[in-house]
Structure 1
Amino acid sequence: MNDDGALNLAASARFSAGTLRVQAGDLLTRFRRPPRADLAAPAEPPDSRLARDILALATEAYSPALLGHCQRCWYWADTFARIDGVRYDPELLYAACLLHDIALGGPDVPASCFAVHGAHLAQQRLHDWGLPDDFAATVAEAITLHMNPRVSLREGPEAHLLHAAAHLDVAGTRAVQIPRTRLREVIARHPRDGFADDFGRRFRHEAAVRPRSRAAVAWRLGMRVPLRLNPLNRRTGPADQIIPWLEKLR
């Protein structure tokens, strides 16, 4: 991948192969034993001046559907941290979750990848707020990496958890590992109303205007299918109606 996020032919092939492997692996998780139902309550987002500034920026920048996605990602990331035993920095993770789609679907993204451009925007804003260079760089790296098929723990706990959270909320990856009570609680707090339509429009735009990006390759690989069939989608009623979907997958 080039510095601006463009994929050459070889990188595009590696990204495609990695994405398909992850999708196949996720199918296998549906045969695992369901998770414990007594997972500890999720942590609340950090209560700090920085967190409030981040939320204000996200609220201004996003549509309601995309804001809800980013807010759910915080809770999913914390849940995966508890399941996998990962420690993280709350403010780093919150910044990465809330700002990871800051450039998605934008009309004036100069880079070849919205995640790369979004990382630059987030890093610059954090610098403007007086955050240390290493803090801003860690957030930017997590945002850049979240579109990869995999993000290992070696690449940073916040990057690893953001990736897991975003892929759950968009495509349902690892959904069967989340206790049903957690699913109910998070979706009740931040409903998924209109998310699939909003997100799908943005990715179609990315595929059209940035055809060498990871988003474009993912869309051409059929991303619309897991987006639409994500068992977390609330189609016709209250959040509890997602649970029968998940029970069929367990």
Structure 2
Amino acid sequence: MNRKSPSPRARLDLTRAEKFAFARHAVAGQLREIPGGLTAALGFGSRDSALELHADPPDGHCARRAEELAREAYGPELLEHCLRCWYFGDLFAQRDRVDYDPELLYVACLLHDIALTDRYRPLPADAPCFAVHGATVARRSLQAWGADTAFSDTVEEAIAAHLDVTAPVENGAEGYLLHAAARLDVVGARAAEIPEHVLHQVNTRHPRTRFTSELSRTLRREARERPDSRIAVLWKIGMRFPIILNPVAMS
């Protein structure tokens, strides 16, 4: 597998020009998603009866080690978010007919916010973006657990890219699915494409208790402490509002 380099936005502090470009693309994306969000909020979303939840996530060696790490590092709000992302990622794979590695996606979902935890938050000398720092933490952990290079590199790439405005499937199925799942759970992107009763099933398995307030507090801190990061730009252009108004929280 050829390893793809993270985008310049992911590797470094954003320059002023990069901030404007990232903000412009993010706002355009938010505007495109407004009709779907309203459709979902009004209860007129997908009726696709073919979409269903898998009973259990994968149970391979790396999956078990990643779950152990996640349960040790996260508070309940972020842990449940990561577990919801696994189910949402699989649902988007079904809907979009995307073939993927279940264990790889599960590990990426579990660890994609690991750098938001007190245990793994970036230090001043680390990458300026929590997603990129978390991607490095995930890769190093996987290497220590005996994962092969292709597996650990793909997880790293998926996690680093999950804050990008888009993550094309051509750049990797797992990155595409993690990106779609995280955006659905956080801001309700593409909520109208998943049946409301299925969203409710996911929320029942992994409750959203205090998720909105805890995530908002955490991202506000990240934006303040890392003002040249992608999350700082997203927060500045109003990310808090789709978090609060997310129709998935109403399912």
TM over 0.5: yes
Task: Note closer, same or farther for the CA distance 1:28–1:2 as it changes in structure 2 (3 Å cut).
Answer: closer
- The aligned counterpart of 1:238 is none
- 1:46 is paired with a residue whose SS is coil
Hey, what's the Cα distance between the residues in 2 that align with 1:60 and 1:117?
A: 18
Contact 2:58 2:102 in 1 (8 A): yes
Mapped pair 1:121 → 2:121: no
- Write out per-residue CA displacement over residues 129-174 of structure 1, whole angstroms, 9 at most, x where no aligned residue: 1111111000000000000011111110000000000001000111
Match of 2:34 among 17, 27, 34: 27
Please tell me the root mean square deviation across aligned C-alpha atoms, in Å: 1.7
Q: Residue 210 of structure 1 aligns to which amino acid in structure 2? A: R
- 2:248 is paired with a residue whose SS is coil
Match of 1:11 among 10, 18, 22: 18
**Where does 1:1-250 land on structure 2 (aligned, <5 Å)?**
1=8, 4-29=11-36, 30=38, 34-43=45-54, 44-104=56-116, 106=118, 107-109=121-123, 110-233=126-249, 242-243=250-251
Contact 1:37 1:181 in 2 (8 A): no
| Number of residue equivalences | 235
| Structure 1 position 105, deviation (Å) | 5.5
- Write out per-residue CA displacement over residues 62-81 of structure 1, whole angstroms, 9 at most, x where no aligned residue: 11000000000000101111
Task: Note closer, same or farther for the CA distance 1:5–1:104 as it changes in structure 2 (3 Å cut).
Answer: farther
Hey, what's the Cα distance between the residues in 2 that align with 1:113 and 1:169?
A: 20
| Structure 1 position 18, deviation (Å) | 1.1
Hey, what's the Cα distance between the residues in 2 that align with 1:31 and 1:8?
A: 37
- The unaligned stretches of length 5 or more in structure 2 are 1-7
TM-score (norm 2): 0.89
Hey, what's the Cα distance between the residues in 1 that align with 2:231 and 2:46?
A: 31
- Write out per-residue CA displacement over residues 12-47 of structure 1, whole angstroms, 9 at most, x where no aligned residue: 111101111111111233569742341242223102
| Structure 1 position 5, deviation (Å) | 3.5
Hey, what's the Cα distance between the residues in 2 that align with 1:73 and 1:176?
A: 16
Hey, what's the Cα distance between the residues in 2 that align with 1:147 and 1:91?
A: 21
- 2:202 is paired with a residue whose SS is helix
Task: Note closer, same or farther for the CA distance 1:3–1:204 as it changes in structure 2 (3 Å cut).
Answer: closer
Q: Residue 171 of structure 1 aligns to which amino acid in structure 2? A: V
Hey, what's the Cα distance between the residues in 1 that align with 2:129 and 2:73?
A: 18
Contact 1:142 1:158 in 2 (8 A): yes
Calculate percent identity across the aligned residue pairs.
45
**Which runs of at least 4 in structure 1 moved beyond 6 Å after TM superposition?**
none
Contact 1:77 1:161 in 2 (8 A): yes
Contact 2:122 2:133 in 1 (8 A): no
